[in-house]
Amino acid sequence: MRILIIEDNPDLAANLVEYLAERGHAADVAQDGITGLHLATVNDYDAIVLDLMLPGMDGITLCRKLREEAHKTTPVLIVTARDALDDKIVGLESGADDYVVKPFALREVEARLKALARRAQSQGLQAQLQVGDLRFDTDTLRITRGARLIHLPPIPLRLLETLMRHSPRVLSRGELEHAVWGDTPPDSDALRAHMHLLRRAIDAPGEAPLIHTVRGLGYQLAEVDAAAAP
Protein backbone atom coordinates (compact mmCIF):
# COMPACT_ATOMS: atom_id res chain seq x y z
CA MET A 1 0.00 0.00 0.00
CA ARG A 2 0.94 3.63 -0.47
CA ILE A 3 -0.02 5.57 2.66
CA LEU A 4 -0.10 9.27 3.48
CA ILE A 5 0.52 10.04 7.17
CA ILE A 6 -0.64 13.51 8.26
CA GLU A 7 0.70 13.80 11.80
CA ASP A 8 2.56 16.64 13.54
CA ASN A 9 4.21 14.44 16.15
CA PRO A 10 7.54 13.56 14.46
CA ASP A 11 8.22 10.56 16.71
CA LEU A 12 4.81 9.01 16.08
CA ALA A 13 5.05 9.69 12.34
CA ALA A 14 8.52 8.12 12.22
CA ASN A 15 7.29 5.04 14.11
CA LEU A 16 4.43 4.62 11.67
CA VAL A 17 6.69 5.03 8.64
CA GLU A 18 9.21 2.52 9.98
CA TYR A 19 6.56 -0.04 10.94
CA LEU A 20 4.76 0.22 7.59
CA ALA A 21 8.03 0.09 5.63
CA GLU A 22 9.04 -3.13 7.42
CA ARG A 23 5.81 -4.65 6.13
CA GLY A 24 6.32 -3.59 2.54
CA HIS A 25 4.27 -0.40 2.48
CA ALA A 26 5.40 3.04 1.31
CA ALA A 27 4.52 6.13 3.32
CA ASP A 28 4.69 9.89 2.77
CA VAL A 29 4.51 12.26 5.74
CA ALA A 30 3.02 15.73 6.18
CA GLN A 31 3.40 17.51 9.52
CA ASP A 32 0.74 20.18 8.99
CA GLY A 33 -2.76 20.25 7.55
CA ILE A 34 -2.05 22.47 4.54
CA THR A 35 0.77 20.27 3.28
CA GLY A 36 -1.28 17.18 4.03
CA LEU A 37 -4.24 18.40 1.99
CA HIS A 38 -1.96 19.27 -0.92
CA LEU A 39 -0.34 15.83 -0.96
CA ALA A 40 -3.67 14.06 -0.56
CA THR A 41 -5.11 16.04 -3.47
CA VAL A 42 -2.30 15.74 -6.02
CA ASN A 43 -1.26 12.14 -5.30
CA ASP A 44 -3.09 8.82 -5.28
CA TYR A 45 -2.87 6.89 -2.01
CA ASP A 46 -4.43 3.64 -0.88
CA ALA A 47 -5.28 5.21 2.48
CA ILE A 48 -4.58 8.25 4.66
CA VAL A 49 -3.72 8.37 8.37
CA LEU A 50 -5.02 11.70 9.69
CA ASP A 51 -4.44 13.33 13.06
CA LEU A 52 -7.15 15.77 14.16
CA MET A 53 -4.98 18.33 15.97
CA LEU A 54 -2.73 19.78 13.28
CA PRO A 55 -1.04 23.15 12.70
CA GLY A 56 -2.19 25.16 9.71
CA MET A 57 -5.47 23.29 9.22
CA ASP A 58 -7.17 20.88 11.62
CA GLY A 59 -8.00 17.33 10.54
CA ILE A 60 -11.78 17.86 10.42
CA THR A 61 -11.43 20.80 8.02
CA LEU A 62 -8.86 18.91 5.95
CA CYS A 63 -11.12 15.88 5.58
CA ARG A 64 -14.12 17.99 4.57
CA LYS A 65 -12.07 19.85 1.95
CA LEU A 66 -10.69 16.56 0.64
CA ARG A 67 -14.21 15.19 0.13
CA GLU A 68 -16.20 18.28 -0.83
CA GLU A 69 -13.69 20.38 -2.77
CA ALA A 70 -11.07 17.92 -4.08
CA HIS A 71 -13.69 15.14 -4.51
CA LYS A 72 -11.16 12.55 -3.35
CA THR A 73 -12.53 9.24 -2.07
CA THR A 74 -9.25 7.95 -0.59
CA PRO A 75 -10.04 6.07 2.65
CA VAL A 76 -9.20 8.15 5.74
CA LEU A 77 -8.29 6.66 9.11
CA ILE A 78 -8.43 9.26 11.88
CA VAL A 79 -6.03 8.93 14.81
CA THR A 80 -7.19 10.93 17.79
CA ALA A 81 -6.70 11.30 21.52
CA ARG A 82 -10.38 12.26 21.80
CA ASP A 83 -12.33 9.20 22.86
CA ALA A 84 -15.81 10.69 23.42
CA LEU A 85 -18.51 9.36 21.09
CA ASP A 86 -19.46 12.88 19.93
CA ASP A 87 -15.86 13.57 18.87
CA LYS A 88 -15.78 10.33 16.88
CA ILE A 89 -19.07 11.16 15.16
CA VAL A 90 -17.77 14.62 14.18
CA GLY A 91 -14.75 12.95 12.58
CA LEU A 92 -16.89 10.47 10.68
CA GLU A 93 -19.30 13.18 9.56
CA SER A 94 -16.38 15.10 8.06
CA GLY A 95 -15.86 12.23 5.62
CA ALA A 96 -13.47 9.96 7.50
CA ASP A 97 -13.99 6.21 7.19
CA ASP A 98 -12.67 4.86 10.49
CA TYR A 99 -10.71 5.92 13.56
CA VAL A 100 -8.36 4.66 16.24
CA VAL A 101 -7.84 6.28 19.62
CA LYS A 102 -4.36 7.19 20.87
CA PRO A 103 -2.39 5.45 22.22
CA PHE A 104 -2.83 2.69 19.66
CA ALA A 105 -0.98 -0.43 18.55
CA LEU A 106 0.86 -0.03 15.24
CA ARG A 107 -0.37 -3.48 14.28
CA GLU A 108 -3.98 -2.32 14.63
CA VAL A 109 -3.35 0.73 12.45
CA GLU A 110 -1.94 -1.44 9.67
CA ALA A 111 -4.87 -3.88 9.94
CA ARG A 112 -7.40 -1.05 9.66
CA LEU A 113 -5.57 0.54 6.73
CA LYS A 114 -5.51 -2.79 4.89
CA ALA A 115 -9.22 -3.32 5.56
CA LEU A 116 -10.08 0.18 4.30
CA ALA A 117 -7.99 -0.30 1.16
CA ARG A 118 -9.60 -3.69 0.44
CA ARG A 119 -13.10 -2.29 0.79
CA ALA A 120 -12.26 0.66 -1.45
CA GLN A 121 -11.06 -1.74 -4.15
CA SER A 122 -14.04 -4.09 -3.97
CA GLN A 123 -17.06 -1.82 -3.67
CA GLY A 124 -18.26 -2.37 -7.21
CA LEU A 125 -20.09 -5.63 -6.56
CA GLN A 126 -23.33 -6.52 -8.30
CA ALA A 127 -27.11 -6.27 -8.17
CA GLN A 128 -29.76 -3.75 -7.37
CA LEU A 129 -30.85 -3.79 -3.74
CA GLN A 130 -34.20 -2.40 -2.66
CA VAL A 131 -36.14 -2.22 0.59
CA GLY A 132 -39.28 -0.11 0.40
CA ASP A 133 -38.40 3.14 -1.37
CA LEU A 134 -34.68 2.72 -0.54
CA ARG A 135 -32.60 1.64 -3.55
CA PHE A 136 -28.89 0.81 -3.68
CA ASP A 137 -27.12 0.18 -6.99
CA THR A 138 -23.98 -1.68 -5.93
CA ASP A 139 -22.40 -1.19 -9.36
CA THR A 140 -22.52 2.61 -9.27
CA LEU A 141 -22.85 2.94 -5.45
CA ARG A 142 -25.85 5.19 -6.07
CA ILE A 143 -28.22 5.24 -3.11
CA THR A 144 -31.64 6.86 -3.25
CA ARG A 145 -34.65 6.99 -1.01
CA GLY A 146 -37.58 8.11 -3.10
CA ALA A 147 -36.27 11.12 -5.02
CA ARG A 148 -33.58 11.84 -2.41
CA LEU A 149 -29.95 11.06 -3.25
CA ILE A 150 -27.91 9.74 -0.31
CA HIS A 151 -24.12 9.93 0.03
CA LEU A 152 -22.34 7.62 2.48
CA PRO A 153 -18.68 7.03 3.40
CA PRO A 154 -17.36 3.48 2.97
CA ILE A 155 -18.12 1.97 6.39
CA PRO A 156 -21.78 3.09 6.62
CA LEU A 157 -22.04 2.05 2.95
CA ARG A 158 -20.87 -1.46 3.85
CA LEU A 159 -23.26 -1.59 6.81
CA LEU A 160 -26.13 -0.54 4.57
CA GLU A 161 -25.31 -3.17 1.96
CA THR A 162 -25.09 -5.88 4.63
CA LEU A 163 -28.39 -4.88 6.21
CA MET A 164 -30.16 -4.64 2.83
CA ARG A 165 -28.85 -8.00 1.62
CA HIS A 166 -30.21 -9.66 4.77
CA SER A 167 -33.42 -7.62 5.16
CA PRO A 168 -35.64 -8.10 7.09
CA ARG A 169 -33.45 -10.33 9.26
CA VAL A 170 -32.05 -8.88 12.47
CA LEU A 171 -28.25 -8.87 12.40
CA SER A 172 -26.28 -9.02 15.63
CA ARG A 173 -23.55 -6.54 16.50
CA GLY A 174 -21.02 -9.32 15.96
CA GLU A 175 -22.32 -10.11 12.47
CA LEU A 176 -22.19 -6.46 11.42
CA GLU A 177 -18.75 -5.90 12.93
CA HIS A 178 -17.40 -8.96 11.14
CA ALA A 179 -18.93 -7.85 7.82
CA VAL A 180 -17.17 -4.49 8.10
CA TRP A 181 -13.98 -5.08 10.07
CA GLY A 182 -13.40 -8.81 9.68
CA ASP A 183 -11.33 -10.28 12.49
CA THR A 184 -10.14 -6.90 13.81
CA PRO A 185 -13.24 -5.39 15.46
CA PRO A 186 -12.84 -1.83 16.79
CA ASP A 187 -13.74 -0.48 20.21
CA SER A 188 -17.32 -0.79 21.40
CA ASP A 189 -18.38 2.68 20.25
CA ALA A 190 -17.41 2.29 16.58
CA LEU A 191 -20.44 0.36 15.34
CA ARG A 192 -22.78 2.63 17.28
CA ALA A 193 -21.17 5.74 15.79
CA HIS A 194 -21.39 4.45 12.21
CA MET A 195 -24.98 3.25 12.72
CA HIS A 196 -25.86 6.71 14.05
CA LEU A 197 -24.58 8.26 10.81
CA LEU A 198 -26.30 5.63 8.67
CA ARG A 199 -29.65 6.03 10.41
CA ARG A 200 -29.52 9.81 10.09
CA ALA A 201 -28.76 9.55 6.36
CA ILE A 202 -31.39 6.91 5.58
CA ASP A 203 -34.25 7.97 7.84
CA ALA A 204 -34.84 11.67 7.21
CA PRO A 205 -37.43 13.60 9.26
CA GLY A 206 -40.93 12.79 8.07
CA GLU A 207 -39.96 9.44 6.53
CA ALA A 208 -41.05 6.10 7.95
CA PRO A 209 -38.00 4.61 9.68
CA LEU A 210 -36.28 1.73 7.92
CA ILE A 211 -33.41 1.13 10.37
CA HIS A 212 -34.45 -0.39 13.67
CA THR A 213 -32.55 -1.24 16.83
CA VAL A 214 -33.81 -4.52 18.25
CA ARG A 215 -32.87 -4.40 21.90
CA GLY A 216 -30.63 -7.23 22.99
CA LEU A 217 -30.36 -8.61 19.45
CA GLY A 218 -28.91 -6.08 17.01
CA TYR A 219 -30.07 -4.04 14.03
CA GLN A 220 -32.60 -4.53 11.27
CA LEU A 221 -33.39 -2.74 8.02
CA ALA A 222 -37.02 -3.27 7.09
CA GLU A 223 -40.29 -1.51 6.36
CA VAL A 224 -42.43 -0.89 9.43
CA ASP A 225 -44.78 -3.83 8.75
CA ALA A 226 -41.83 -6.23 8.60
CA ALA A 227 -39.87 -4.72 11.49
CA ALA A 228 -39.47 -5.97 15.04
CA ALA A 229 -39.81 -9.68 14.29
CA PRO A 230 -36.33 -11.24 14.32
Residue 216's domain spans which residues? 128-226
> How confident is the model over 68-115, as pLDDT tens digits?
888 888 899 998 887 667 777 888 888 888 888 888 899 999 999 988
Q: Could you tell me if 10 and 113 lie in one domain?
A: yes
Q: Is the pLDDT of residue 186 over 90?
A: no
Instruction: Measure the CA–CA gap between 38 and 69, rounded to whole angstroms.
Output: 12
State the Cα–Cα distance between residues 6 and 61, nearest whole angstrom: 13
- Which of 88, 121, 154 corresponds to the end of one domain? 121
DSSP track, 8-66: S-HHHHHHHHHHHHHTT-EEEEESSHHHHHHHHHHS--SEEEEESS-SSS-HHHHHHHH
What confidence tens digit (pLDDT) does each residue in 130-144 have? 999 999 988 788 999
Global pTM reads: 0.57
Q: How many domains does the chain have?
A: 2
Q: Is the pLDDT of residue 58 over 50?
A: yes
User: Are 214 and 173 within 8 A, CB to CB?
Assistant: no
d(CA 187, CA 120): 22
Domain boundary among 104, 121, 138: 121
Residue 162 pLDDT more than 80?
yes
Residue where a domain terminates, one of 86, 121, 156: 121
Instruction: List the one residue out of 105, 200, 108 whose CA is nearest residue 152.
Output: 200
